[in-house]
Amino acid sequence: MNLHGAKAALLEPASNAVAVSSFLGQQLKPQPEACARVLRKARQGIRAVAVVDAPATKGEVVDYPALAKELDASSPLEIMDTALDLFGKNIGIAFSGAEDVALIEYARLTGRPFRVFSLDTGRLNAETYRYFAQVEAHYGIRIEYCFPEAAEVEALVREKGMFSFYEDGHQECCSIRKVRPLRKQLRTLDAWITGQRKDQSPGTRASVPVVQVDPAFEGLSGGPGSLVKFNPLANVKGTDLWNFLRLLNVPVNELHSQGFVSIGCEPCTRSVLPGQHEREGRWWWEDATMKECGLHKGNVAVATPQPAAPTNGAAVPNGAAGAVEAGASGEAEAASTAVTSAPSEHADLYADTDAVASLSKEDVEALLQSRGQDATLLVLYAPWCRFCQAMEESYIQLGEQLRGTNVRVASFRADGPERAFAQQEFGLKSFPTIVLFPRRAQSSRSRAFVTYPSERRDPASLLAFVSAIAGPIGETWSGP
């Protein structure tokens, strides 16, 4: 039994309750008052069942260490999909205004509804406040802002001044402005999603699991074990995360282009130099092993810090050397051909290689509906398109590189009689169009495919895209 099959068996009462609640909400809208009373009563019972079975307190039904082990090699997209599927409206994404915006992008890609909250300490950079507004506009969401208690802030500042943390450490200020507001917010949730990565902080986050029962905070039902914590980016390297943000054209905080990597409050954050670790820009006057504010104290490992490889891939987010840039719409010549171009006679592409699977319309239709299979990278092409011709060699190279892995490289001729189908199913506007079908569990409602947004079609760029969406590459592909 796979992960989601096991989850369905374990959570059948709560899952059924949520499904029935959704059905009732959709099917019984206009009704007499008597029916409305029955519906309200039914919904109350449904919510009660879901609240009891979903958290990790009463009648524990989910083995979270086992779930963490099973998800450890999964992509952030699959982990995010699992988290949103398990907890629905009772889970929130913690967004700091930095590169953890990737969490919001992954949530969007699942196609599920999601909530986002942020801590407004009152000491953030102006750029971060502008960035919050930009993210809200980009994703069409409203961030739930959490604020410190005014009386506590007032007492601290009146007693110790505005910058006491430079003298006696940041813990007291962070406790008032960040930890307590977070604790209050988490008491309204059954689970939360964070952007923690193992490579973020020397000696403190090296053992972050992808999912865990939160060891430091309590959730909606109260008591130890009442809150679950997901860390979908735990195994993602900083450089790979930035490749993902560039490839998907995700908006980023303008502070990143000024050398800021890890971003917090304005007085406690500064830019770092190339080669410096990202956390060296936080609380720089304190010991490296103390660079945590308390939000993730349950994950802090007490260990001697080891020299860390530089992960500052974000100092110049829109053009670092060797990085994959996204969206080449401003290139001198658009590297695509509109689907309305008149075809000319040309030998079909990918005919003389077994490194790229040629799919029929029926194969693609099955792929659009498939669940439980590994990833497929698919190019929609026309043999007469000169840009399709130009990328044939590099796409075959990618196929050779991924041969025998858990990612299949495939092609579909989308001109002629198949053009209308491609336009309807993929929104095809130009050739070539490249899409990725990530691995989806049987219960997943995530989008069937993700469109590659860049005009860079070299193997390295495509591989970076596949890795960012599909996760680790290496296992033998298990599809048909």
Annotated active-site positions, please?
Answer: 385, 388
Measured between alpha carbons, how far is 405 from 61 in angstroms, rounded to an integer?
34
How many contiguous H segments (helices) and E segments (strands) does the chain have? 16, 13
Q: Is the peptide bond before 65 cis (omega within 30 degrees of 0)?
A: no
Please name every residue paired with 358 in a beta bridge, in sequence order, or none if there are none.
411
Spatial CA neighbour of 192 closest among 251, 107, 69, 265: 107
- Ranges of H-type helices in 58-194: 64-71, 76-87, 101-110, 126-139, 150-160, 165-168, 171-174, 180-186
Per-residue burial over 310-342, b if 16 or more Cβ lie within 10 Å, else e, is ebbbbbbbeebeebbbbeeeeeeeebbbebeee
Q: What spatial distance separates the first Cα and last Cα of the chain, rounded to whole Å? A: 19
Do residues 439 and 375 make contact, with C-beta atoms less than 8 angstroms apart?
yes
> Which residue in 439, 156, 124, 437 sits closest to 267, CA to CA?
124
> DSSP 3-state assignment of 199?
coil
Q: Between the CA of residue 423 and those of 349, 412, 418, 430, 477, what are the distances in Å?
A: 20, 13, 9, 10, 28
